[in-house]
Amino acid sequence: MADYVKMWKDLGMDLESHDNLCQVLPTAVGDVFLTQENRPKAMEFWDLVISEVHGIRPAELIEEQKKGRKVFGTFCVFVPDEIIVALNGIVTGLCGGSQFWVPGGEAVLPKNTCPLIKASVGARLGRTCPFFRIADVYVGETTCDGKKKAYEILGEDVPMIIMDVPQMKRQKDIEKWKDEIADFAKKAEEITGNTLSVEKLKEAINIINEKRKAMKRVYDARKSLTLPISGRDTLLMTQISFFDDPVRCAEMCNKLADELEERIKNGVSVVKEGTKRILVTGTPLAVPNWKLHNIIETSGAAVVCEEMCTGTRYFENLVDGSADTLDGLFMALSERYMKNNCACFTPNPGRIEDIIRLAREYKADGVIDCSLKFCGLYDIEKKNVSEALKKEGIPVLSLETDYEDSDSGQLRTRIEAFVEMLNS
Ligand code: BJ8
């Protein structure tokens, strides 16, 4: 591994505490990913990135900053990457997925806040994540109450833009989100010092659409009964796509998709015939949260699809880049982003329709609906999800978890019983 200590020091990181974090990660990567058999060769790229997750990409970002580019840290798939890319900015995901950061978050937030929020705040305030140190500006959004209030705390420490996400999906809400995107573009122009043009925005729309198409190719391969890739590996690819350069991301995903399509042709599967196929839905799984996938896939089943923001919601629906005015392109962006069926909307029938559609497309035998503890939005929506799936004859298991390992045994027992029920 290259020596990144100077870089971390220059970023003002707490090196002692960061060392403790670095010690746990390799074991987790080894246990979750490297123990799998018959992995696609193209996964070598993501194995390398995750093995130096606090080194390779942060070093690239710093090099780009030296050339005058600005880094925008984001927490939600509602933030339109296209605007940032069109202004020659760089997007990096910032959601925290490790229990390591939770106590730091609990120092300033109530304990009954969801772990994703606590970890994100803890990662910033504890100075143990280079991405949180590098970002020139954070972009928050008004999706859930916990995030809204946490952004006020983060905003004391770092420049922050908040985007006001509508809570409903009427035509006037789509118009409102278009205006919000236009306002965001103005702020992003100030930060980058660049001016947005129709041409640049069209180009950026194309770049991000290509990334979405490449990710979709990988996911489409999972629809085959000859399953060419595990859920764990696909999740890793998806998680890293939030940090990576979008052009390289598309290139690597296409390379992986080529290999997966070849595997299907040759009948190469990562699981035995008849292995039960699971669609996972619920709250996002930020790096390095691999707990659920790992338990499912070591309990005799395979994850074939994720209806979540670290899954299909990140790449489904392309932006129509045909308009010839900025206003027209902002509207096209709004229309695409407002198709995201996050539980922050009311009512939210689109998510249930998506889960049923995806369960059929990916030939899932059952659905696991799992939310993070203290996420009221997804927890409350479980009732409607579970009733709708039962009506469709699709078996469903509803779970709640957090970032600690203490509930792993209990989760495993429930998941094993669910898989056994599917098998019988
Ligand atoms: S579009 S899912 S990325 S908001 S788990 S922090 S909702 S209390 S993450 Fe999300 Fe955007 Fe929606 Fe997707 Fe709050 Fe729930 Fe925590 Fe959550």
Distance 98 CA to ligand 1 centre (A): 16
Read off the pLDDT of residues 26-52 as tens digits, 9 standing for 90 and up: 888 999 999 999 999 999 999 999 999
The β-bridge partners of 73 are 92, 138
Q: At what angle do helices 44-51 and 15-29 cross, to 10 degrees?
A: 150
Q: What are 214's two structure tokens?
A: 């490449």
Would you state the pLDDT for residue 2?
72
- Measured from the Cα of 343, ligand 1's closest atom is 12
How many other C-beta atoms can be found within 10 angstroms of the C-beta atom of residue 365?
Answer: 19
Distance 283 CA to ligand 1 centre (A): 6
Q: Which of 251, 277, 284 is nearest to 367 (CA)?
A: 277
Sign of the alpha-carbon torsion through 270, 275, 281, 286: negative
Distance 143 CA to ligand 1 centre (A): 7
Distance 120 CA to ligand 1 centre (A): 12
- Measured from the Cα of 113, ligand 1's closest atom is 8
User: Nearest residue CA, atom 4 of ligand 1?
Assistant: 143
> What DSSP designation does 156 have?
T
User: Nearest residue CA, atom 13 of ligand 1?
Assistant: 309
Our mutation pick for probing the ligand 1 site, out of 78, 118, 285, 309, counting the most ligand atoms within 8 A of Cβ, is 309
Residue 302, H or E segment = strand 301-307
Distance 344 CA to ligand 1 centre (A): 8
Distance 3 CA to ligand 1 centre (A): 35
- Measured from the Cα of 143, ligand 1's closest atom is 4
This prediction has a pTM of 0.97
Domain count, the chain: 1
Q: Rounded CA gap, 28 and 47, in Å?
A: 12
Our mutation pick for probing the ligand 1 site, out of 77, 95, 144, counting the most ligand atoms within 8 A of Cβ, is 144
Phi-psi region of 274 (alpha: psi -120 to 50; beta: other; left: phi over 0): left
**Contacting residues for 423 by C-beta, under 8 A, at least 6 apart:** 276, 300
Our mutation pick for probing the ligand 1 site, out of 141, 142, 339, 342, counting the most ligand atoms within 8 A of Cβ, is 342
Concatenate the DSSP letters of all residues of 351-417 into one string: HHHHHHHHHHHTT-SEEEEEEETT-HHHHHHHHHHHHHHHHTT--EEEEEE-S-STTHHHHHHHHHH
Would you state the pLDDT for residue 1?
63
User: Nearest residue CA, atom 12 of ligand 1?
Assistant: 342
Would you state the pLDDT for residue 26?
82
The β-bridge partners of 93 are 74
Would you state the pLDDT for residue 145?
97
Distance 222 CA to ligand 1 centre (A): 25
Our mutation pick for probing the ligand 1 site, out of 344, 355, 382, counting the most ligand atoms within 8 A of Cβ, is 344
Q: Rounded CA gap, 420 and 264, in Å?
A: 27
Distance 409 CA to ligand 1 centre (A): 26
- Which residues contact ligand 1 via a Cβ below 6 A? 76-78, 114, 116-117, 143-144, 146-147, 283-284, 309, 340, 342, 344, 372, 375, 377-378
Would you state the pLDDT for residue 270?
98
- Can you give the residue range of the structural domain that contains 192? 5-423
- Measured from the Cα of 145, ligand 1's closest atom is 14
Long-range contacts of residues 251-254, Cβ cutoff 8 Å, at least 24 apart: 251/214, 252/42, 252/45, 252/46, 253/211, 253/214, 253/215, 253/217, 253/218, 254/214, 254/217
Concatenate the DSSP letters of all residues of 70-117 into one string: -EEEESSTTS-HHHHHHTT-EEEE-----GGGHHHHHTTS-TTS-HHH
Would you state the pLDDT for residue 328?
98
Distance 370 CA to ligand 1 centre (A): 13
Would you state the pLDDT for residue 312?
98
- Asked if residues 367 and 397 have their Cβ atoms less than 8 Å apart, the reply is yes
Distance 144 CA to ligand 1 centre (A): 7
Read off the pLDDT of residues 293-345 as tens digits, 9 standing for 90 and up: 999 999 999 999 999 999 999 999 999 999 999 999 999 999 999 999 999 99
Query: 3-state DSSP call for residue 8?
Result: helix
Low-confidence stretches of the chain (pLDDT < 70) are: 1
